[in-house]
Amino acid sequence: NAGVMQNPRHLVRRRGQEARLRCSPMKGHSHVYWYRQLPEEGLKFMVYLQKENIIDESGMPKERFSAEFPKEGPSILRIQQVVRGDSAAYFCASSEQGSGNTIYFGEGSWLTVV
């Protein structure tokens, strides 16, 4: 039973380019979350999605960031026109339906903006 799968694990982008991070939740999980860990900072919630729906995006920056979880395929976190401050580890997590369930994290995608 594969865990939460994220790719790419490491991504280097030049300022102004786009970054796309992908996440496949654990089998049977219908809830996906994205968190960001900036250097020397703790993990911060970004967005919570279910299939084809954004449930809570209160942690997403207002511009350049978007997320989706289509009916088919992985969840995508998209960052347009990246800046140096976007350099961070982006973690995806998933859980089963219903509150109170354990949330499982992927290995993360490390974005470096040069």
Q: How far is the CB of 48 from other proteins (least distance, A)?
A: 5
Interface positions, 68-87, toward other proteins (CB under 8 A): none
Q: Of 38, 43, 83, 114, which one interacts with other proteins (CB under 8 A)?
A: 43
CA dihedral defined by 11, 95, 26, 40, rounded to 10 degrees?
30
Q: How far is the CB of 109 from other proteins (least distance, A)?
A: 10
Report the distance separating Cα 112 and Cα 55, nearest Å.
28
Q: Of 68, 76, 105, 112, which one interacts with other proteins (CB under 8 A)?
A: 105
Dihedral over Cα of 67, 79, 43, 27: its sign: positive
Report the distance separating Cα 61 and Cα 32, nearest Å.
18
Contact positions vs other proteins (CB under 8 A): 4, 6, 31, 33, 35, 41-45, 48, 55-56, 58-59, 91, 93, 99-100, 102-108, 110
